[in-house]
Amino acid sequence: MDALLDPQDDLLSIACAHARDVDALCYDVASIIFPSAVHTPSEATISAVSVKLLQIVRDIEARLHGATLESMCGPLLARSGFLRESEIVDFALARVAEDNLMARLGGGFSQLAVELLNHANAHVTDAAQALLAADSVHSQGRSFLTLPPELLHKMCWRIVAALELLSGRRSDKIIHNARTLIASYDEARTAPASARKIVHFLSGEDRSSLSRPHYAGIHLFVAHLSTDLNIGHDHILRLIDFESAFPMMVMLAAAGLPKHVALQTMVDLRSQTLSTREATLFEADYVHFIPEMARQQLSDWSSARSLFLSSGKT
């Protein structure tokens, strides 16, 4: 009987260990990143951030170490605190916000980007191709392609170190794979960079369509706001998907969007989460928001975020 039960006991032990690792990572994200948050993050948000981080680790690990169904070093990185570093969690939160917003828009490709494939400006055409390509590959085991170069570099070498620690030896092949992955990465082909390029090269008559998220898609809509307001792409994603709709109202007012345009944008991106109180606030006060004051508020938020990311403290 003992011989028959041993394999099952081993499987249960492994399952429990993985469950504890995931559970610990969820709690780490909650306690380290959100200790003073006004809005306590939901269990869904904490879990989504954890899953996003482990997916990126697993995808990089597969490229460095060979195909694998589960991460060898993910639990080790979680216990070491590496996956709790502020810039890494902030990046994951922005990706979760991006997923949420794209789901509300019905997913799929940007209609505007598809139409821009026939644009007269070759720079716009090239960027539109890159944007559509970027949206099509991120779900195919290449989530690391969304990382900015500094985070990709940091995560690759930390994963190399974790793999060497777990194996107890140095691997020239894994090191070579890490160098190859970093060298082959082209930030200009990422969705945010491609969207910024399109916004930069579009003429004035074409830019009006960028304010329509259902038509432009989330990347072009956010890139348009980022250029106009001079705040980061990921910061805008977080503001739009924030628990309260107030930051988004301030941002739309700072961008000078007329009330009817701002209302349609709110409906497109927050219809499932917009409360009656927030809708009443928008209806009564949006026209009273002064763009200059709204821009100053955004600047203050951006400065506070930059300070947090540089210091790693809330």
Compute CA distances 160 → 86, 156, 165, 175, whole Å: 21, 6, 9, 7
Q: Which of 93, 33, 96 is nearest to 314 (CA)?
A: 33
Q: List the helix and strand counts (H, then E) for the chain.
A: 17, 0
Query: What's the token pair of residue 96?
Result: 């979760």
Q: What is the pLDDT along the chain (314 residues), one digit of tens a residue?
A: 344 445 555 555 555 555 545 544 554 454 444 444 445 667 788 888 998 999 999 999 999 987 666 778 888 998 899 998 989 999 999 999 999 999 888 877 789 999 999 999 999 999 999 999 887 766 567 888 889 999 999 999 999 999 999 888 899 999 999 999 999 998 888 999 999 999 999 987 778 889 899 999 999 999 999 999 999 999 999 999 988 888 999 999 999 999 999 999 998 998 777 788 888 888 888 888 899 999 999 998 888 888 878 775 43
Per domain, the residue ranges of the chain are: 12-311
pTM (whole model) above 0.85:
no
